Amino acid sequence: MANKLATTSLLAAVLLALAAPSLAGDPDMLQDICVADYKSLQGPLRLNGFPCKRPENVTADDFFSNALASPGSTCNALGSAVTPADVRTLPGLNTLGVSVSRIDYAPWGVNPPHVHPRATEVIFVLQGSLDVGFVAATATGGSRRPPRNSGGSPAAVLSAFDSQLPGTQPVAEALFGASPPVPTDVLARSFQVDGGLVEAIRSNFPPK
Amino acid sequence: MANKLATTSLLAAVLLALAAPSLAGDPDMLQDICVADYKSLQGPLRLNGFPCKRPENVTADDFFSNALASPGSTCNALGSAVTPADVRTLPGLNTLGVSVSRIDYAPWGVNPPHVHPRATEVIFVLQGSLDVGFVAATATGGSRRPPRNSGGSPAAVLSAFDSQLPGTQPVAEALFGASPPVPTDVLARSFQVDGGLVEAIRSNFPPK
Amino acid sequence: MANKLATTSLLAAVLLALAAPSLAGDPDMLQDICVADYKSLQGPLRLNGFPCKRPENVTADDFFSNALASPGSTCNALGSAVTPADVRTLPGLNTLGVSVSRIDYAPWGVNPPHVHPRATEVIFVLQGSLDVGFVAATATGGSRRPPRNSGGSPAAVLSAFDSQLPGTQPVAEALFGASPPVPTDVLARSFQVDGGLVEAIRSNFPPK
Amino acid sequence: MANKLATTSLLAAVLLALAAPSLAGDPDMLQDICVADYKSLQGPLRLNGFPCKRPENVTADDFFSNALASPGSTCNALGSAVTPADVRTLPGLNTLGVSVSRIDYAPWGVNPPHVHPRATEVIFVLQGSLDVGFVAATATGGSRRPPRNSGGSPAAVLSAFDSQLPGTQPVAEALFGASPPVPTDVLARSFQVDGGLVEAIRSNFPPK
Amino acid sequence: MANKLATTSLLAAVLLALAAPSLAGDPDMLQDICVADYKSLQGPLRLNGFPCKRPENVTADDFFSNALASPGSTCNALGSAVTPADVRTLPGLNTLGVSVSRIDYAPWGVNPPHVHPRATEVIFVLQGSLDVGFVAATATGGSRRPPRNSGGSPAAVLSAFDSQLPGTQPVAEALFGASPPVPTDVLARSFQVDGGLVEAIRSNFPPK
Amino acid sequence: MANKLATTSLLAAVLLALAAPSLAGDPDMLQDICVADYKSLQGPLRLNGFPCKRPENVTADDFFSNALASPGSTCNALGSAVTPADVRTLPGLNTLGVSVSRIDYAPWGVNPPHVHPRATEVIFVLQGSLDVGFVAATATGGSRRPPRNSGGSPAAVLSAFDSQLPGTQPVAEALFGASPPVPTDVLARSFQVDGGLVEAIRSNFPPK
């Protein structure tokens, strides 16, 4: 046991590799239990967040998920996989203002710079060894190490958020894969490169 | 790897084994970084929470802890050990409103019924198999399984909280180990037992 | 008049007789008035909290209750009665984040140790003389006097909460009267007593 | 007893007699207890709110006040007296976000129209019979009855707030007694009266 | 350009000319976008705030308004016009907790003393020169200059609020134009004038 | 006047050109006025936010700034200038949770994609014509037009935030100008370009 977790480390990072902290926005708990009622998505009213299942329909399974038990597939360009357990898949989290994600890394895999617009984050290393850091709004100081698997074996972390739905916005994809697109000249001027290069990068992020 | 985490499960529980949910109380993030300044505890002003280290004194180590890398000792009456990583030991968590704890269980160990007065909680099973549940304020429904190691091997979980200092109050100890003591007749009437029995239980919880 | 209130005292107690403070969770007031629409409970959507009556249906009576005008009956095992005036019975309190309860005590009556999962509390003594205290999360210090009627005459208090629905969880009932039950061995290990005693106490709290 | 409280009534009013509701602004509870340290007012740092006494200096008296035990004197132009028990006088209320006030009324006494800028309010009638109401932001509907003692005997209420320091701003005094004064022509145009009348009313509110 | 904005000034005022600050009450952002669904007002459920349009129905126009592009008409008794751009007219503001208003002033026009029950405010002077101030809850200090156009030409400001629906309650109208009316004797005693004068002022504020 | 503002438009945008919304984090207003005490920055305690000036030291100037009266210089690579009026320069904004910024644009100038980690935003066009948009966390939909001056004359906007210190993080600078730097291979993999290109872009953002 001791061996297995010997490389476990804990990092308190507001945002991995990019952004400044934002405050969680889940302040509402007005009753004991408000298990998310997913069926409401078919109804006429779409709430900010989820309404509650009727108490008589709540079951123990509403509070349980095994989605994080197995590693996600890291066979992709980034060599990483994010598996969230948030209010969209674990209905018992509704109104609780807390959630977790599992991130798996292939050797040398990268979880690209991103922001969580509605949450702060703390990371627990489940396996392996990682370089992790964040960039404060001043763009100076504050980072420890960059965000990637720093070893030759798979790695995994558990991220805890102070929001039931933290949201995730990978920065490169947001800039170059948005639809409708951010205009070429805006990106060119922002990165201080020419428009051809912007177009070349954009071709890496086809609209979904 | 797959094997090791095969029994990993995720439970969204407001409070383990006892109590009703409470809303996290950490709403303050007024600047990019506010690493807890522990030296302030020697000064004349004691704040609600912690003041911040001067930016020039912040280091990467303020955001890192290996306190959770090894299992806590479970050689005690309960067969369990709680190791928190909150703002008291991980100063970078200050004003972030999030923290984690590691709980280790000996075979059949128990984390006794408790409340977290300033946080909601979600649990990730690191190892082994556990019975986990909570009691809603109505004392009916809502629980999945009781809180203890349900298997013959060690178990461990990671608890995530939406507070940088969730607080923990084990109920039995709070009732029978408080100093000054809760009067015997109050406890007798509450549990509907006689005073001699209250005194007998109290002797199990010597004042610290 | 002076005589009648001569023993009136005010105690700021986070939680009577047991627990640590929790922060109120009622942050939503997005419009002038949102009187709780109880009829919505028959509809398909169950909200976290209550939706609002249409303005044209709001009446002055929505803001008034005489439920606290008379003492509750204290002819019970505890010698006390809690009468809440919260958003479930006083619809005008919806979204206001405040409520009150009246607690009546027979001579030597006890309001058993409990937690309010969504509120802090301050107590105003309406009549009589009471011993009141609370147990902080550290289980040390902080209490003034235990929670019971300390005199030979009836007593009454008004409790004010910073929540429109504070919730109340009597601890003994939560532990020994939960359904499904908290397992006997968990309670035995927590209180450090044998299982037979747990069963005996449990028989005092039949499932509702 | 029943007689004594026979006229007791409960009114949920956002603001007595004038204003629209405001949300309480007391969201900070970062630790178990933070009893207000009044001595800090002599120090160099003035906080938003109060810092905490050192735990070893906290006493049971910090949580108790008898300031509300006796009626305030109503021998004044309004025939009413407000006695607050908030964080300025009851230090244990610090960070709890709740407080109470006692208001006594001479026969036909009036608590003039006012706003509480940081709190919502619910009123419990301790004695007598009162006309109470509020004016919503739309200036239409929402009121029950005007704010004054409606009977020939003294009356008293207890007001509960969802703030440890709700603040109180009597409207007439704010408009006509401010220092420096609100210009005469502004008040004249607002009330659609001539400037001489403004000056006459202002003479009723000498600067303090 | 420099000329045009030469008299531009910025004033941070909690509340123009009257009242003490209140904290914004818009804490809910549980998802990326929740554009207000105005059609829900015809449905059976009336929420606190607005539900969200279905994502497929959201358009760019939901985030745009030209209502503030032109000055409002100041041909009225006060010589001023308030044009709000809040969640009632700009649906993209829903759950964002921010809004703006444009206030135009005729020469010597006045925006009468008022409170915003759910917001703090900061003012940017678009054109002209204004006297602006506020009255703190203590009715002393804190004000700069009274609220009116201090020059002989039209003026305009933009007010920013930390609420998507700040609400506005002009004090004189609230007191003298409420329906049902605030009783004459209550107003007479509050302003320390006789009842005839109260009735005279009231006649300036016919119920709407 | 009408002419001058004829092209004025209002856009409710969570974040200009890049990012998803974040909730404002300024929940603390515990007293009437808490003007920021900048002298405290020389003292031993560094707070999260600012402490308050003593009331006797508060002046009307604490609530006024003319920093936004003149356009900022747009003679730079981006052709734009951001001039904030937040709690760092306008001390009266402390604890109010609201602030504004002025952004000036040269013809075809660009305010590069950025995030505000602690605020939502609404934009009022002071002069000229702009293309403005934002990218939601899903990177699809939600945008109206890209962020730049769309005309041949200078333009200017006023941005309002629901935070007294919203923070601003230009994305390109955060990624390529951070110190210590985000590792080349992390950026290369994130943008799916080669390392040489990353180094080339990085040379445009020398560490400050």
- Residues E68 and D144: their CA atoms lie apart, in Å, by 37
- Residue E28 confidence (pLDDT) above 60: no
**Sequence ranges of the domains in chain A:** 62-167, 172-203
- Mention every residue, 6+ apart, whose C-beta is less than 8 A from residue E80: E74, E103, E104, E105, E106, E109, E110, E111, E149
For the annotated binding site of B for oxalate, the residues are 111, 116, 121
Most D CBs within 10 Å: which of C58, C61, C100, as the mutation test of the D interface? C100
Q: Give dist(CA D84, CA E72) in Å, integer.
A: 44
Q: Are strands E99-105 and E169-170 parallel, antiparallel or unpaired?
A: unpaired
Distance in Å, alpha carbon of B52 to nearest chain A alpha carbon:
14
Min Cα separation F65/chain A (Å): 24
Interacting residues of C34 by C-beta distance below 8 A, sequence separation 6+: C50, C51, C52, C94, C95, E48
Return the pLDDT at C29. Answer: 67
> CB distance F115–A115 less than 8 Å?
yes
Identify all chain B residues contacting F34, using CB atoms and an 8 Å cutoff.
none
Q: E44 falls in which pLDDT band (50, 70, 90)?
A: confident
Which residues on chain E are in Cβ contact (under 8 Å) with A27? 27-28
CA B179, chain centre distance (Å)? 21
CA E57 – CA D24 distance, rounded (Å): 35
pLDDT for the residue F147: 53
- Give dist(CA B129, CA B127) in Å, integer: 7
Query: Which CATH fold topology does C62-167 show?
Result: Jelly Rolls (2.60.120)
Cβ pair D10, C100 in contact under 8 A: yes
Mean pLDDT score across all residues of chain F: 81
The span from the CA of B108 to the CA of B105, in Å, is: 7
Cα distances from A87 to residues A15, B96, D201, in angstroms, run 20, 21, 59
My answer on whether omega of the bond before D147 falls inside 30° of 0, hence cis, is: no
CA distance D207 to F205: 59
pLDDT digits (tens, 9 = 90+) for B62-108: 999 999 999 999 999 999 999 999 999 999 999 999 999 999 999 98
Residue in chain B closest to A153 (alpha carbons) equals B1
Q: Cα–Cα distance between F63 and E142 in angstroms, integer?
A: 9
Judge whether residue A94 has pLDDT over 60: yes
**Which residues of chain F have a CB within 8 Å of the CB of B30?**
25-26, 48-49, 118, 164-165
CB A115 within 8 A of CB A169: yes
Closest CA to E156 of E86, E81, E99: E81
Helices vs. strands in chain C: H and E counts, helices first: 3, 10
Yes or no, beta carbons of B176 and C168 under 8 Å apart: no
D160: phi then psi, degrees, rounded to nearest 5: -110, 140
> Which of B73, B96, B132, B163 would best serve as a mutation to test chain A binding (most A beta carbons within 10 A)?
B96
**CB A173 to CB F115 under 8 A?**
no
CB–CB contact B49 F48 (8 Å): yes
In angstroms, what is the C-alpha Rg of chain A? 19
Indicate the pLDDT class of residue F28, thresholds 50, 70 and 90: low
Gap from C133 CA to chain D (nearest CA, Å): 9
Confidence bin at B135 (pLDDT 50/70/90): confident
Q: Is D42 helix (H, G, I), strand (E, B) or coil?
A: helix
Instruction: Determine the 3-state secondary structure of B41 from DSSP.
Output: helix
pLDDT along chain D (208 residues), means of 10: 28 30 46 89 90 92 92 94 95 92 94 90 92 75 54 89 91 91 92 96 87
Q: Which residues of C are less than 8 Å from B77 in CB distance?
A: 189, 192
- Per-residue model confidence as pLDDT tens digits over F66-101: 999 999 999 999 999 999 999 999 999 999 999 999
What average pLDDT does the segment C50-73 reach? 92
pLDDT digits (tens, 9 = 90+) for B174-201: 999 988 889 999 999 999 999 999 999 9
Here the tokens at position D59 are 């006493």
Q: Answer left, alpha or beta for residue D7, where phi above 0 means left and psi between -120 and 50 means alpha.
A: alpha
Alpha carbons C35 and F17: distance in angstroms, whole number: 39
* SS3 (DSSP) at E181: coil
Q: Would the CB atoms of E174 and D139 count as touching at under 8 Å?
A: yes
Instruction: Name chain D's partners: 3 or more CB pairs within 8 A.
Output: B, C, E, F
Q: Distance (Å, rounded) from C-alpha F193 to C-alpha F203?
A: 16
The CA distance from F52 to D157, in Å, is: 34
Whether residues B28 and D28 touch (CB distance < 8 A) is answered with: yes
| Residue position matching structure tokens 């909290």 | C49
For the stretch C62-86, pLDDT in tens is: 999 999 999 999 999 999 999 999 9
Q: Is A39 helix (H, G, I), strand (E, B) or coil?
A: helix
Partners of F163 on chain E (C-beta within 8 Å) are 162
Interface test with F, best of A14, A15, A23 (most F CBs within 10 A): A23
Query: Which residues in chain F are closer than 8 Å to D115, comparing Cβ atoms?
Result: none
Residue D140 has a pLDDT of 45
Question: How large is the average pLDDT for residues A106-129?
Answer: 91
E173 marked as binding residue: no
Q: Which among E28, E46, E164 has the least Cβ separation from residue C28? A: E28
Contact assignment for C8 to D142 by CB distance below 8 Å = no
- Better-predicted residue by pLDDT, F18 or A143: A143
Is residue B123 within 8 Å of A90, Cβ to Cβ? no
Chain C contact partners (≥3 CB pairs within 8 A): A, B, D, E
Residue C31 has what DSSP assignment? S
- Chain B residues inside the 8 Å CB shell of A89: none
Residues of F in contact with D34 (CB under 8 A): none
Of A11, A63, A145, which is closest to B13 when you measure between CB atoms? A63
Helix (H, G, I), strand (E, B) or coil at E188: helix
Structure tokens at E47: 């929420």
Contact between chains at B47 and D45 (C-beta distance less than 8 A): no
Q: CA-CA distance, F147 to F129, in Å (whole number)?
A: 11
- The pTM of the full predicted model, rounded to 2 decimals, is 0.88
Mean pLDDT of chain C: 81
d(CA E29, CA E31): 6
Which amino acid, residue B135?
V
Two tokens, residue C12? 């700021």
- Helical H runs in chain B? 171-176, 184-191, 195-202
Contact yes or no for A13/A134 (Cβ under 8 A) = yes
E199 among annotated binding-site residues: no
Confidence of residue B138 (pLDDT cuts 50, 70, 90): low
Option in D8, D29, D156 nearest C69 (CB)? D8
Q: Which residues contact E129 (CB under 8 A, 6 or more apart)?
A: E7, E9, E149, E150, E151, E155
∠ CA A161-A165-A166, nearest 5°, is 50
Q: Is E111 annotated as a binding residue?
A: yes
pLDDT digits (tens, 9 = 90+) for F136-176: 876 544 544 445 677 778 999 999 999 999 988 899 999 99
Nearest CA in chain E to F153: E1
- The reported pLDDT for the residue numbered B176 is 94
CB pairs under 8 A between A and E: 46
A141: left (phi over 0), alpha (psi -120 to 50) or beta: left
Shortest distance, CA D167 to any CA of chain B (angstroms): 21
At B28, the pLDDT band (50, 70, 90 cuts) reads: low
D1 C-beta neighbours (distance < 10 Å), count:
14
B143: confidence class by pLDDT, cuts 50, 70, 90 = very low
Give the per-residue pLDDT at D137: 73
Tell whether the model's pLDDT for residue C184 goes beyond 90.
yes
ipTM given for this complex: 0.84
Interface of B with D (CB under 8 A): 25-28, 44-49, 117-118, 164-165, 167
Sheet containing B64-65, strands listed edge to edge, beginning at the edge strand earlier in sequence = A80-85, A99-105, A155-161, A121-127, A10-12, B64-65
pLDDT of amino acid B150: 73
Angle at F142 between CA F139 and CA F148, to 5 degrees: 90
Could you identify the residue written with the tokens 């013959």?
B152
Q: Which of A44, A49, A164 sits opposite E43 (nearest CB)?
A: A44
Task: Tell me how far apart the alpha carbons of residues E190 and E192 are, in angstroms, rounded to a whole number.
Answer: 5
The distance of E70 to chain F (nearest Cα, Å) reads: 6
Tell me if F121 is assigned to a ligand binding site.
yes
CB A161 within 8 A of CB A93: no
Confidence category of residue C7, pLDDT binned at 50, 70, 90: very low
Beta carbons of D99 and D163 less than 8 angstroms apart: yes
The answer to whether F10 contacts E99, with C-beta atoms less than 8 Å apart, is no
Best mutation target, E14, E31, E57, E135, to test chain F (most F CBs within 10 A): E14
Chain A interface mutation, best of C41, C48, C94, highest count of A Cβ atoms under 10 Å: C48
With residues binned 3-state (H G I as helix, E B as strand, rest as coil), the percentages for chain C, rounded to 5, are 20, 25, 60
Chain F residues in contact with B29 (beta carbon < 8 A)? 25, 48, 118
The answer to whether residues A134 and A143 touch, using CB atoms and an 8 Å cutoff, is yes
